Structure 1
Amino acid sequence: MPEGHTLHRLARLHARKFVGSPVRVLSPQGRFAEDARLVDGHVLTSSDAWGKHLWHTYDNGLTVHVHLGLYGKFTDSALPMEEPVGQVRMRMVGADFGTDLRGPTACEVLLPPQVAAIEARLGPDPLRRGADPHQAWVRISKSKKAIGALLMDQAVLAGVGNVYRAELLFRHGISPERPGNLISHDEWTAMWADLVELMKVGVRRGKMHVVRAEHDNGDPAYAKDRPRTYVYRRAGSPCRVCGTPILHSVMEARNLFWCPVCQSV
């Protein structure tokens, strides 16, 4: 599932390409057709993201809400766009740019109170200006739940997925099994600051760069087009710092990776 930096990159791209001009909004697949007609031809006034949610707000006050989920993807195109291929849920066509959305978990038009209700359920997003890390700290510090699970809870912290979860905990030497109420305030402050910087790098580069320069060697990345990771998808491989085999388990139906030596507490 795309993590928060991907949605912020999309929000910025769509702001550059569409905001300030009328946008044709269509649904070649048909599933979004009724909602598409509500915003088709209107001026896009803002494109924003909160965690894993993308918001397109139009001059009539309506907002298109997109959650990519596991399979959602935007495919960009120069104009004129070719005939849609596959199940295109939403097509956006601007003055000189177009994009097709396929396979999202959510693609819907919402009224302002509905947008506000979704945002009220989300924790702070490290990439949003003014995000308050204390809001997440209050939830974490009162919970006996494992920090590895809390970091993935979008009501606690918005935008963090499996990769950032695994890599952040490694970088701070924290076991994913440690209860949230045993995380110190200083540890959380350092984790938040690190996460903000890591996710900003993800927005700039379009990929997650999480390995420090002195450790960026040895085993290749888990996929050809991805930078190296410390632990994510490296089960059985030697830790880049101590050489101990990386462990794998499942926590709340999500794969979990960690080093039992570097993250012993």
Structure 2
Amino acid sequence: MPEGHTIHRLATRHRELFVGNPVAASSPQGRFATGAALIDGRVLRDTEAIGKHLLHHYEDDRTVHVHLGLYGKFTEGELPVPGPVGQIRMRLTGSGHWLDLRGPTACEVLEPAAVALLRARLGADPLRDDADPAAAHARIRASTKPLFALLMDQSIVAGCGLIYANEVLFRAGLAPETPGTAIGAARWTEIWDDLRALMKEGVARGRIDTVHTEHTPEAMSRAPRVDRHGGEVYVYRRPGQPCLVCGTAIARGPMAGRNLYWCPTCQPPLRGSRTA
């Protein structure tokens, strides 16, 4: 599933392509036909991302909400628009370009009240300037759940997915099972700032890179990582491989229904009840 930086990149790209112009909307597949009719011919006023949710705001307070899920994907190109290939849920054309959406978990038109409810149920997005990290910390500090699971909870931190959660915990030197109650305000600020910086870099580069300069392939004279997700990382999908910092074999285990990865040496379990 795409993480938040990808959705923010899409919001920016769609803004560049269509905002300020009327958009023709259709649903070649048919499943979004009613929604497409509601926005067809209307001017796209703005786009935005909140965590893993993409919003297209049209005139007359109509908003298209898209959640890509595991299989959703956008494709685009310059006019003329090609014939439909595959199951195209939504097709937009206008201002010299076309945009197709296939396989999303959600593609729906929302009224303002429903948009407000969506915003209310999502947590702080590190990529948004209006995010409230203190609100996220209040929920984390009140929970005994593992910090890994709390970072993955979209009602607490919106947009942080599996890769960022694993990597930011490694960079913080915290074991994934560290309880939220152990994270003090100062430590949370460090984690939040690091997560925000990593995700902003993801927006700029279009991929997730989390290693410090001294641990890049060039600096360590090692082969670049080969993975469909791309990017250089410390622990994600590196089980059994040596830690880039200490050489210990990277561990893997289940938590919150997902795979987590960590270095047993660089991320030792928190002992006692001290606050991190």
**TM-score > 0.5, shorter chain as reference:** yes
Q: 1:222, 1:234 within 8 Å by CA — same for their partners in 2?
A: no
**1:224-252, CA deviations, whole angstroms, 9 ceiling, x for partnerless residues?**
67121100000000000000000001112
> What stretches of structure 2 of length at least 5 have no aligned partner?
270-276
Q: How far apart, CA to CA, are the structure 2 residues paired with 1:189 and 1:122? A: 19
Q: How far apart, CA to CA, are the structure 2 residues paired with 1:81 and 1:205? A: 28
Q: How far apart, CA to CA, are the structure 2 residues paired with 1:222 and 1:93? A: 36
Q: 1:50, 1:125 within 8 Å by CA — same for their partners in 2?
A: yes
Q: 1:222, 1:233 within 8 Å by CA — same for their partners in 2?
A: no
Q: How far apart, CA to CA, are the structure 1 residues paired with 2:111 and 2:51? A: 19
**1:53-92, CA deviations, whole angstroms, 9 ceiling, x for partnerless residues?**
0000101211000000001000111110100110000011
Name the amino acid aligned to 1:240.
Answer: L
> What stretches of structure 1 of length at least 5 have no aligned partner?
none
Secondary structure of 1:151's partner? helix
Deviation at 1:220, TM superposition (A): 3.2
Are residues 132 and 225 of structure 1, via their aligned partners in 2, closer, same or farther at CA, if it must alter by over 3 Å?
closer
Q: Corresponding residue for 1:230? A: 234
Q: How far apart, CA to CA, are the structure 1 residues paired with 2:228 and 2:93? A: 32
State percent identity of aligned pairs.
55
Q: How far apart, CA to CA, are the structure 2 residues paired with 1:83 and 1:255? A: 40
Name the amino acid aligned to 1:4.
Answer: G
Q: How far apart, CA to CA, are the structure 2 residues paired with 1:143 and 1:261? A: 25
Secondary structure of 1:43's partner? strand
Q: Corresponding residue for 1:84? A: 84
Q: How far apart, CA to CA, are the structure 2 residues paired with 1:189 and 1:212? A: 19
Secondary structure of 2:92's partner? strand
Q: How far apart, CA to CA, are the structure 1 residues paired with 2:184 and 2:239? A: 28
The count of aligned residue pairs is: 265
Deviation at 1:223, TM superposition (A): 0.9
Q: 2:207, 2:229 within 8 Å by CA — same for their partners in 1?
A: no
Q: TM-score, normalised by structure 2?
A: 0.94
Q: Corresponding residue for 1:169? A: 169
| Worse-matched range after superposition: 89-98 or 231-240 | 89-98
Q: How far apart, CA to CA, are the structure 1 residues paired with 2:81 and 2:209? A: 33
Secondary structure of 1:257's partner? strand
Q: Corresponding residue for 2:26? A: 26
